[in-house]
Structure 1
């Protein structure tokens, strides 16, 4: 009986010992759980040193712990485990983090002996679920750098939580369910992705975006190394990248637009070698040795906005690729985003701003010419932009970004600048013609060419030799051609106008116009440019016909084809009628010196009658052709309808 009492007393003491041990292990285990948030700091420190060695150490630890039998923990295994944890690269035992898993393993052993393993497992899962919920509902902000620490804390807590889950699951048997952890991980990444995407709406700093990106990349790479699925987090990086690129594009678009808007478009002047070096950082200037030896100051062909634009574009590319650094996936999507953003920056903002500047009604000829020169350099700069893209792109990107279509747009814009040059010159010519001050009914013909004609010639010579001096010879020749062609058209339009005071003219007025046109023709011949010689052909032939004593010869096909082949019927009718009205008071005058005698008037009247008939027939024929064309098109449309049926 005494022996039985001693055994009962011994069992009671053992039960008390185990109960105290369980409570102690529970406290130690709780300490283990609340230490999770310290792990990420260790991760960060180790990544800043030897990037992946700590992962190798952790893998060795996990392999050893997995091989251990938790039901047979002895001093040898503890020594082996301690040896691994003492390694300086060990994730869970270093100068910053010390987490001892032995209390957990001992708890597992004790609960297993007591047959209460399920209770511990359920209790552990509930605690971890509460901890996960607490972490995911932790508020953070991405509005400014001052709020960034709240985001770091949020990410650190998640990383620490799931690293512990990984270690515990792989170092125990049937304690942690992979399905349960994967389910919790899925919930976590969905919630994390949504939270970050929501908070990014408040972020307006590209530099802050880069810091956020770096934190998220470490987050992804860390948990991926622990075999967690990170596909949805990579999708988050695309969301982050899209918003970053949009913000970056907005920032540099504003800079480009403001730069072009404030540009005066005058040639850039280099005043020192330092300015020259800064210029070379923006654009590789191709100069021969003679130009370089000229020293400073030195005037360049382009305006100062050109190199500044190049710096903005290159900085944009650099900032873009700064974000991509650290990625190992999704290069295709990011290249597509870069291409779209760069296209928009170069086409909508740079080229678009230049186009809007050219369309400004107050722009000067010198500014348009400068834009033309700048466009030439923007076309060349596309090659440097391509080189910058190629230099910075990842080796994982298979193809280069080609900017040939950007060059084409710049070439089109340069042609528009060329056309704008012609338009401004033509507007100036129109102004000269409008201020010509012709007397349509003079008492006698002028003995000298009109002064405005000489003003036009002098002005054209001046702008060709100064403002347009650096343009290609082909364009300068075309400037002359377009200017004189427009002057000829303007004079003919001026002569055929039907406004008050211009509805009649006399022969002396025609002789004055003849002298002015002859002066222009003389200047054109001095240019020795065959392309310009025919600009005044129609006007010259009309004047010759008006001055001819036999205007009826126009109806003779052989004479017309030889002398009046460029004359159109309609303006000729108007001018002949004006000439008749100018001499209507001389209908029955028989004086020898009458500038428009009776027979000549009759010939002109007959000519007008025949020309009007021809013009009417011409209009009728054009109308018939138009109806015929419309009918053919209607028949084709009907045939298509029947074919579809």
Structure 2
């Protein structure tokens, strides 16, 4: 075979591995691209070309060998194919002949078949015509029957007949008949629809007129129910108040009045039911429901607009009654009209309405200028909320409107109370109230528990307060009652705490402010200012009674309220104002005293001989103090009396000290100090007497009236002592001169001369004694300077 030489040639080529690889790739039918790329990349394309040629020559030899071995089989196969072609031509010719024969034989049969098919077609057409005629006869009969029902106004069977006709409509073969009948069906339905809609529209007009009456009746029933509840709660509170006195057979009684059922709200919905049913039969129930819904919404919108045509105070009751009636009707329709309305539609309508109502109320409330008007409208709103809540509507937004407006209401109420309090305080004479009759006492004292004793006094009775106090108490009680009336709408709050808060505001922002304005107006005399301070003290004590009244109005039993430790912030504020009034009294007294103390300017501070009597200013001051104490003793409590008088005495002491310190006194003598000593003796005697006469000594006060002049007293004692330098001794200073200040003493000692600089002053027989005192005083001056 030629294969062996070829193998040798490959080996001899020097690259036998490449030849074998190419032969294997070609035998397996694989891609020669990688080998060829490798051959060119390695720089040996000649070897690759040589191997490919060798392989091609080898394959040519193999092909020649294969053809030589099988050429006889190829010749036989060609001969067999030629035989097959001859048989195929013979078969084709035979089939063509048979086809021509069959066509000749079947021509007659096809003609008979066409005749038969035509007969079948005629039969079918006749049957179809009879069927169509029966349908037309049936439809015409139904039309005649429907016309009869319509003529007799029997719409229900007429609609059923129309449904039958409509069912047959698609089967009517005659186009003209079908067209006529099809055109009449909607006309007939429209005729029936107009008939029932006319009746329904009449009902719409009627029910809108009735809605206001329906709402008024319902709100009236709610008002009666609320009155019954309030009466029952009042009787319950009364029973609880008297429970400590033992059972009372008449305390608990059954209220048999007004036990009948509530008046039935009678309004007819028959036209709605009838119209709804007919529209369902017409197949347009949804259309009617939409028509009902839209018309009722239109009526509601008109009702909302009508409220703006007149003042809201006058129109709010019919307006809210109309709204209540509308939604009572809607609730009845929802409950009884079998799908006429859905809950979502009613809720949506209510949400739309309540949004408009709240907007109207908020707008109107913002314009209100009188608390009584706002309270009146609030009362009707709470009744509306109670009625609609009973019918299942959410009324929280109405309550929220009232809750938002409570500050506005109380601002108006506080403003009105401020006017009343200002007027009461302006008209008060600030003189103790004289009560001559028992009914006056009960009306002005007992009613407000302003007198701790329950025993009726003898008349005429002089009260510790002026006429403005009972009037203010009436204003406060009225405020509490009005506040509770407004806040009784039942919002999410603690009623007692809220009312207590507004009561605090009244007492602090109104009453206390008015009292302070009156106090600082500088239009009151001393006695009037004292009475004002006394009034504040009484009102401060009355805070507990105001709080008790507040608790009772909020439904808290008295025994529980009395055990409560709650208190008003206003009490502390009034206490502070009371102290401010006392300070104002002290300032007024001090101002008056300053007028008398100006007489100190007339004192001869360099006099040689000691005066025989006290200075004039002290006599004037004591006369004024006598008047001050006697007036204060009648009006003020002892504590206030103590503050005022001690303040006045302290001011006198401070004024003398200030005079000595001022540049107006360049120097003063021992004789002038002796005069001061006489003045102080009178003042201290007066202070001791009044401290005991007024009963202050029984209170155990640590500081007496005499103690208020201790600084000037110690100064006088020091200047008149034989050895002033003892001041620097800590023990003696702590015992006798503890109130004196180093700096003040240094200034005063520089001004102090033991005697006047007369021509023969140094030749006086007192020269020796004065010289010793002068030396001691000089030592004190030097040591004070060193200390400074």
Q: TM-score, normalised by structure 1?
A: 0.78
- Separation in 2, partners of 1:163, 1:291: 58
- Separation in 2, partners of 1:526, 1:380: 31
Residue in structure 2 matched with residue 403 of structure 1 by the alignment: 567
Q: CA deviation at 1:606?
A: 4.2
C-alpha change, 1:349 and 1:114, in structure 2 (3 Å) is: closer
Q: CA deviation at 1:11?
A: 1.9
Residue in structure 2 matched with residue 134 of structure 1 by the alignment: 302
Listed as ranges, the matches of 1:480-519 within 5 Å are 480-499=645-664, 502-519=665-682
Residue in structure 1 matched with residue 491 of structure 2 by the alignment: 330
Q: Does 1:393 align with 2:566?
A: no
C-alpha change, 1:3 and 1:598, in structure 2 (3 Å) is: closer
Q: Does 1:14 align with 2:149?
A: yes
Q: 1:227 is paired with a residue of what secondary structure?
A: coil
Q: CA deviation at 1:240?
A: 4.0
Q: Is the 8 A contact 1:29 1:104 kept in 2?
A: yes
Q: CA deviation at 1:52?
A: 9.1
Residue in structure 1 matched with residue 784 of structure 2 by the alignment: 611
Q: Which of 1 and 2 has higher RCO (CA within 8 Å, sep 6+)?
A: 1
Q: Is the 8 A contact 1:590 1:598 kept in 2?
A: no
Q: CA deviation at 1:315?
A: 0.8
Listed as ranges, the matches of 1:355-370 within 5 Å are 355-370=516-531
Residue in structure 1 matched with residue 289 of structure 2 by the alignment: 121
Listed as ranges, the matches of 1:599-638 within 5 Å are 601=774, 603-615=776-788
Listed as ranges, the matches of 1:42-191 within 5 Å are 42-45=214-217, 47-48=219-220, 89-92=263-266, 99-140=267-308, 143=311, 145=313, 148-149=314-315, 151-191=316-356
- Separation in 2, partners of 1:321, 1:533: 53
Q: Is the 8 A contact 1:441 1:506 kept in 2?
A: yes
- Which of 422, 435, 449 is the matching residue for 2:599? 435
Higher radius of gyration, 1 or 2? 2
Q: Does 1:423 align with 2:587?
A: yes
Q: CA deviation at 1:307?
A: 0.1
C-alpha change, 1:12 and 1:289, in structure 2 (3 Å) is: closer
- Separation in 2, partners of 1:600, 1:283: 68
Q: Is the 8 A contact 1:143 1:202 kept in 2?
A: no
Residue in structure 2 matched with residue 221 of structure 1 by the alignment: 386
C-alpha change, 1:134 and 1:175, in structure 2 (3 Å) is: same
Listed as ranges, the matches of 1:245-256 within 5 Å are 245-256=410-421
Q: Is the 8 A contact 2:586 2:647 kept in 1?
A: yes
Residue in structure 1 matched with residue 129 of structure 2 by the alignment: none
Listed as ranges, the matches of 1:426-575 within 5 Å are 426-436=590-600, 437-473=602-638, 475-477=640-642, 479-499=644-664, 502-526=665-689, 531-557=704-730, 559-561=732-734, 563-575=736-748
- Separation in 2, partners of 1:180, 1:227: 14
Residue in structure 2 matched with residue 321 of structure 1 by the alignment: 484
- Separation in 2, partners of 1:288, 1:333: 34
Q: CA deviation at 1:603?
A: 4.9
Q: Is the 8 A contact 1:270 1:300 kept in 2?
A: yes
- Which of 189, 194, 217 is the matching residue for 1:23? 194
Q: 2:341 is paired with a residue of what secondary structure?
A: coil
Unaligned runs of 5+ residues in structure 1 are: 54-86, 93-98, 616-645
- Separation in 2, partners of 1:485, 1:3: 126
C-alpha change, 1:260 and 1:250, in structure 2 (3 Å) is: same
Q: 2:462 is paired with a residue of what secondary structure?
A: strand
Q: Is the 8 A contact 2:534 2:637 kept in 1?
A: no
The alignment covers a number of residue pairs equal to 567
Q: CA deviation at 1:454?
A: 2.7
- Separation in 2, partners of 1:481, 1:609: 36
Q: TM-score, normalised by structure 2?
A: 0.65
- Which of 451, 459, 475 is the matching residue for 1:312? 475
Residue in structure 2 matched with residue 629 of structure 1 by the alignment: none
Q: Is the 8 A contact 1:507 1:595 kept in 2?
A: no
Mean CA deviation greater in 134-143 or 437-446: 134-143
Q: CA deviation at 1:295?
A: 2.7
Q: Is the 8 A contact 1:259 1:305 kept in 2?
A: yes
Q: Is the 8 A contact 1:542 1:567 kept in 2?
A: yes
- Separation in 1, partners of 2:439, 2:279: 78
Q: 2:463 is paired with a residue of what secondary structure?
A: strand
- Separation in 2, partners of 1:342, 1:288: 26
Q: Does 1:32 align with 2:203?
A: yes
Q: CA deviation at 1:408?
A: 2.3
Residue in structure 2 matched with residue 81 of structure 1 by the alignment: none
C-alpha change, 1:36 and 1:581, in structure 2 (3 Å) is: farther
Q: 1:138 is paired with a residue of what secondary structure?
A: helix
Q: Is the 8 A contact 2:434 2:463 kept in 1?
A: yes
Question: Which whole-Å deviations, capped at 9, do the CAs of 1:391-435 have from their partners, x for residues lacking one?
Answer: 221479x98894342222222322333333333333333322222
Question: Which whole-Å deviations, capped at 9, do the CAs of 1:491-523 have from their partners, x for residues lacking one?
Answer: 111112113xx2122333222222222333344
Unaligned runs of 5+ residues in structure 2 are: 1-133, 156-187, 226-260, 698-702
- Separation in 2, partners of 1:318, 1:561: 62
Residue in structure 2 matched with residue 373 of structure 1 by the alignment: 534
Q: CA deviation at 1:589?
A: 4.2
Question: Which whole-Å deviations, capped at 9, do the CAs of 1:1-48 have from their partners, x for residues lacking one?
Answer: 999755432222335643555433212211222223313423423553
Q: CA deviation at 1:354?
A: 1.5
Q: CA deviation at 1:267?
A: 0.8
Q: CA deviation at 1:611?
A: 0.9
